[in-house]
Amino acid sequence: MLLKHLDLYISTLRQKNLSLQCSILPECYSDIWCHIHSLMTLRDAAHAACLSHAFLRSWRCHPNLIFDHGILFQLRHVLASTVNHIFENRSGIGVKTLKLDFSCYHEPKAYSYLHRWLRIAVTPGTEKLVVLSASDVAFNFPWSILSDGNGSTIRHLHLVDCGFHPTVSLVCMRSLTVLHFDRVAVTGDELGYLFSSCVALEQLKLRRCSKITCLKIPFEMQRLSYLQVSVCHKLRMIKNEAPNICSFDFLGDRIEISLGDSLRLKNLDVLCNNVLRNAREEFPSSAPNLETLSIFSRHEVANTAMAFAPSKFLHLKHLSISIAVAYDYLSLVYFLDAAPSLETFKLHVLIGLRPADELRLEDPSHLRQIPGYRHDKLRSVKISTFYSSKGMVELVSHGL
C-alpha cells in the first residue's frame, strides 16, 4: 500500500516536470505529502511517519483516525502514552473521520482517555464519528462536544453501548445525514433534542435502545428516507411526521405505529407477533404504494381463514413471508388476493418439528380448493423447507 501511494507521488512529480529531490520536497511540496498520507490507511501512514521528519509532519495532518478493536487491543498496554500522544499532536487540528472501538476495554479508568480524545479530535471539519464502548461499562457520551459548532459538519454519527443524555437542543447538527444508535441509553425526549436540527438526516437506525417509550419523528426531517427500529423493548408508539420515508424496517413487539403521510413508502420489513392476522387489513391503507413487503411472524393466534378484504396492495410486486409457527398455509391465498400486481412470492417456513396436520391422504378430493381466482402476474414462487402438511400442499396446488 505504501509503495502504491509513493508511485502515485512520483507520477505526480513527473506530470509537473519536477525532479525527485528529497532534500527540498518536504518543504516545497508538503501538500503533496499530506495528500499521499490522506490516501493511506492509518497503519501505513504511521509506518511512513517513522521514515523521516517530513513524513512525520504529514502524518500529523492525517485526516482519518480509525482505532478498531484489533489496533486498540494491541495498544492496550501503552494506551496512556502512544495513543494519547497521537491525539495530543492533533490538538487544535481535529480529524475528518474518527472511529474508536473501546469494546475491548472493561476498566472504567480507560474511559477517561476516551472523553479527552473526543474533545481533542471533534472539531469543525469532523464528518464521521463512530464510538463503540464495552457493554459492561457505564459510559456516557459527552454530547456537549457536539455543541458550539463542533458538530456542525458531522454527517455520520454511530454510537454503541453508551448513554446519550443531552439537556438542550443540539442546534448545530444540521449536516447530519446518518444516525445509528445501537444499545444506547437514550429517551424519546433526549432524541428530540437531537432531532430538533437534523433537517438533512436521511437514515435513522435505532437498535436495542431500551429506554425509548415513544419515538416522534418531526415533519422537519423531510430528507429522511430510511427508518429502522429494532428490539427497543420499552417502545410503545412510533409517530412519524416525516413525509418522504421510502423504507421502514421494524423488529419488535406489536406497538402503535402511525406512519403519517406515507405515500412514498415503497419497502416495508416487519418482524413481530400476529402480524399476518392484521397486515392485509392495516397496511394497504397505511402504506398504499408499497412495492416490496417482507413479513416475519413469530407467533399467530388460531388459524382462522382470512376473508377477502376490500382494500388491496395495488402496487405490491414482491412479497416475502416467514413463519416460525404452525400455520394454515392455504389462508395465505387470501393474503395474495390483496396484491393483484404481485410478481414474486417467497415463503420461508422455520418450524423444526413435523406439522400436526401432516398429509397422509391419497385421495386429492379431500384437499380444500379456492376456485375462481388467478394470479396472472405472478412469475416466481419459492417455498423453503417444504412440509407435507395439508395446508402446504393445498397452497401449492392452488398456485399450480
Beta strands in the chain (DSSP E): 64-67, 97-101, 128-132, 156-163, 178-185, 203-207, 214-217, 226-230, 237-240, 247-251, 256-258, 267-272, 292-297, 318-323, 344-349, 380-384
pLDDT tens for residues 232-291? Answer: 999 999 999 999 999 999 999 888 888 887 788 999 999 988 888 778 778 888 888 999
Distance CA 68, CA 131 (A): 10
pLDDT exceeds 90 at position 173? yes
Pick from 338, 282, 274: nearest CA to 309? 338
pTM of the model: 0.81
**Contacts (Cβ under 8 Å, ≥6 apart) of 230:** 205, 206, 207, 208, 249, 250, 251, 252
How many residues in total does the chain contain?
400
What's residue 300's pLDDT?
A: 76
Residue holding cell 448545530?
172
Residue holding cell 420499552?
234
Give the C-alpha distances (Å, rounded to integers) separating 176 from 101, 109, 195, 199: 21, 31, 10, 8
What are the grid coordinates assigned to 250, written together? 421494524
C-alpha dihedral (76, 78, 84, 87), degrees to nearest 10: -70
Q: Is 205 helix (H, G, I), strand (E, B) or coil?
A: strand
Share of the chain above pLDDT 90, in %: 39
Residue holding cell 498496554?
77
Question: Strand pairing partners for 226?
Answer: 203, 247
Distance CA 181, CA 229 (A): 10
Distance CA 86, CA 96 (A): 15
What's residue 14's pLDDT?
A: 46
pLDDT tens for residues 5-59? Answer: 544 544 554 455 443 444 444 444 555 655 666 566 666 766 666 655 555 555 5
What's residue 292's pLDDT?
A: 96
